[in-house]
Amino acid sequence: MAKEFNTSVTCDPKMHYMVDVSKKMKVFENLIDKKKYFTITQARQFGKTSSLKWIYNNLNSRYLVVSISFEDTEEDDWISAATFYKTFCGYMATTFKTKILTKNEEYEKFWNDAKTIEDPDIKSLSERITEFCQLSSKKVILLIDEVDKSLNNQLFLNFLSMLRKKYIDRDMTGDDSTFWSVVLAGVYDIKNLKLKIRPDEQHQFNSPWNVAADYDLDMTFNPQEISTMLIDYENDYHFGFNIQEISEEIYKYTSGYPVLVSRICKEIDENLGKDWTKDGVLNAVKRTLKDKDFTLLDDISKNLHRHKELHNFMYAISINNIQFSYSPIDPVIKMAIMFSYIKENNNNVAVHNLIFDEAFHAFFIEEYNREHNQTNNESPFGYDFIQNGDLNMEMIIGRFKEIMANRYKDCDQKFLEYHGRLLFLCFLKPIINGTGFCYFEPQTKNGGRMDLIVNYNQKEYIIELKIWRGSKYETDGKTQLANYLKQRNLSEGYLITFSFLKDKVVQEEPQWIEHEGKRIYEAVI
């Protein structure tokens, strides 16, 4: 059976094209060999389950691996300590039986002891774990996936506390009659749970899992790693495309987010005529963003609705380019990191990837239009914004200036400072929708300016958006834009300055100016 790119279930190297992650997985193997307990905390579809599968497949010859997923458990399993005891012992007994690592009578004794005990509790489970590890001829590792399902369950917290005690007792006494290593995988950081232990208590930061080892491992794929998957694919089909160029282009839009990498490849292979070019990558990105059923993007909407502080934080960095220091101590930043919505960029926060950035823009545009009873027909489209297949950016900016002058002339200054750049996106997106793609590239630390890069019909348009901070900053902005145009080998660019000062005289009409050898179309809104 031919391989395919996979975006839905755990990857299998026999069935799916996969990035070579063996070097990354060695980090987990080394932790296990050192008897560590640890967590794999990553956002959704970031390779957690695939990592556990790698551990299971590659370490099964040296260890006895008990693998559990709480996604498979029923709610009844958590009603009482007795039901959880029975469920967990069942997993251990099944592992014993399938691995045939002990004599049959020893397995039967273990299972019978587990079933016949009266009123089992966590202490009873601890005793069965000891017995299980003593009977096994190999060191036992425990893998638990999807632990998020049970993080607010007191019984599960008691279970973690029991494992923690056995871990500490093992190190103090040298008695290895417990799990050699325990690996918990989920989205939420189990080491820093915000728990409500009792109904009458306030939420507090606490965790029975502070024995988990720290490690440094970047689970994203760099271009070189992405190329390992494409080399495997090319060896099967021999299309002759530039693997390095396409790997870098995929990374440009995804920042190596695992499922996004596979998604782009899958779109090109199955839906875009195997167009392994830069245009093919861009079209795959646009198809991905239009997929309303793509769980990862749907989660963005749900999480922004659910967490108001996260909503405001992502608006600040994705729309208004407000810079925050990358401080994982801050609870909102920690949440954004947990969902992989942000990454570190020169010690500051940045949106994790261009696909997420576009998804945030779409969310905030729709939210604004809905709350202000607006539609995307403000343009109107009677204007000839597209000429000979290319954007007429002069007309787009001119029309936007007219709308701002008429519709928003009486608006509060703070409102416009906060929403000005969003309003330009609201205006621009319907014009380029389906054909073009745009993204912000922050250029400064103070939120004073940012570049909007618009790709349309294989042409690139650079629009600098800045807030009026005085004449010197205006001149500096032109110089910075000119330098940026040089970097991208472009002769023309666009400068939109939002000026909200009541007493400032602004130019009446947008105009072309020459600055440091570059043509700049300047408009003051």
Residue 349 confidence (pLDDT) above 80: yes
Evaluate if residue 394 carries a pLDDT over 70. Answer: yes
- Which one has a higher pLDDT value, 378 or 349? 349
> What confidence tier does 104 reach under pLDDT thresholds 50, 70, 90?
low
CA distance 100 to 337: 42
Report residue 153's pLDDT band, with 50, 70 and 90 as the boundaries. Answer: confident
Type of residue at 140: V
Angle ∠(10,12,13) on CA atoms, nearest 5: 145
Is residue 184 within 8 A of residue 211, CB to CB? The reply is: no
Query: Which residues sit opposite 439 in a β-bridge?
Result: 453
Tell me: the pLDDT tens digits for 473-513?
667 778 888 988 998 899 999 999 887 665 555 556 889 99
Q: How confident is the model at residue 11 (pLDDT cuts 50, 70, 90)?
A: confident
Q: What is the rounded distance in angstroms from the CA atom of residue 357 to the CA atom of residue 318?
A: 6
For 94-133, b where at least 16 C-beta lie within 10 A, e where not — what string?
ebbeebebbeeeebeebbeebeebeebbbebbbebbebbb
> What gap in Å lies between CA 212 and CA 168, rounded to an integer?
11
Length of the chain: 525
pLDDT of residue 208: 73
pLDDT at 493: 95
214-229 in b/e form (b: 16+ CB < 10 A) is: eeeeebbbebebbbbb
Q: For residue range 207-252, what is the model confidence (pLDDT) as tens digits?
A: 678 888 999 999 999 999 999 999 999 999 999 999 999 999 999 9
Start-to-end CA span in the chain (Å): 59
Secondary structure (H, E, C), 16-38: ECCCCCHHHHHHHHHHHHCCCCE
Q: Quote the mean pLDDT of the chain.
A: 85
Write out pLDDT tens, residues 129-150.
Answer: 998 898 888 899 999 998 877 6
Per-residue confidence (pLDDT) for residue 109, from 0 to 100? 73
Highest mean pLDDT of the ranges 164-178, 241-255, 414-428: 241-255
Helices first, then strands: H and E counts in the chain: 17, 16
Q: Which residue, among 207, 290, 222, 213, has the nearest Cα to 256 in the 3D structure?
A: 222
Token pair listed for 474: 């205006």
Q: Is residue 100 scored above 60 in pLDDT?
A: no
The average pLDDT across 410-425 equals 79
Q: Could you tell me the CA-to-CA distances from 419 to 406, 431, 445, 507, 509 in Å, in that order? A: 16, 19, 19, 22, 22
What does the pLDDT look like over 303-315, one tens digit per residue?
Answer: 999 999 999 999 9
Q: Specify the pLDDT at position 304.
A: 96
Q: 194 pLDDT exceeds 80?
A: no
Rounded average pLDDT over 259-283: 97
Q: Which residue ranges make up each domain of the chain?
A: 22-205, 223-291, 294-374, 390-525
Max intra-chain CA distance, the chain:
92
In this prediction, residue 377 carries a pLDDT of: 47
Average pLDDT for residues 73-78, to the nearest whole number? 63
Rounded Cα–Cα distance for residues 511 and 394 (Å): 9
* Tens-digit pLDDT profile for residues 320-329: 888 899 998 8
Q: Is the pLDDT of residue 272 over 90?
A: yes
> Taking the model in full, what pTM does it have?
0.86
In percent, how much of the chain has pLDDT > 70?
85
Annotate 291-345 with DSSP letters as a single string: -TT-HHHHHHHHHHHH-HHHHHHHHHHHTS----B--TTSHHHHHHHHTT-EEEE
350 within 8 A of 344, measured Cβ to Cβ: yes
Cβ atoms 439, 354 nearer than 8 A: yes
Domain made up of 22-205: CATH architecture: 3-Layer(aba) Sandwich (3.40)
What pLDDT is stored for residue 379 in this prediction? Answer: 43
Sign of CA dihedral 519, 523, 524, 525: negative
What topology is assigned to 294-374 in CATH?
Arc Repressor Mutant, subunit A (1.10.10)
Name 289's Cβ contacts closer than 8 Å, sequence gap at least 6.
297, 355, 358, 359, 362
CB-based contact 194:203 (threshold 8 Å): yes
